Structure 1
Amino acid sequence: MIADITRGGNFQKKDFVESGLPCIHYGQMYTHFGIYADQTLTFINADVFAKSKVAKTGDIIMAVTSENVEDVCSCTAWLGDDDIAVSGHTAIIHHNQNAKFLSYYFHSSHFYTQKIKLAHGTKVIEVTPNKLNDIVIMLPPIEDQNRIVEILDRFDALCNDLSAGLPAEIEARQKQYEYYRDKLLSFQEIQK
Structure 2
Amino acid sequence: MAQPRLVSLAFFVAILISGAHSATFSFKNNCSFTIWPASLANSDKGALSQTGFQLDSGASFSLDAPPAWGGRLWARQTCSTDSAGKFSCITGDCGTGQVACNGAGGAPPTTLIEFTLQGYGGKDFYDVSCVDGFNLPVLVVPSGGPNCNSTSCPVNVNALCPKELRITAPDGGVQMKMLLSYILSQP
TM-score category by the smaller chain?
under 0.3
Q: What is the TM-score with the length of structure 2 in the denominator?
A: 0.27
Compare CA radii of gyration and give the structure with the larger one.
1
Between Structure 1 and Structure 2, the one with more helix by share is 1
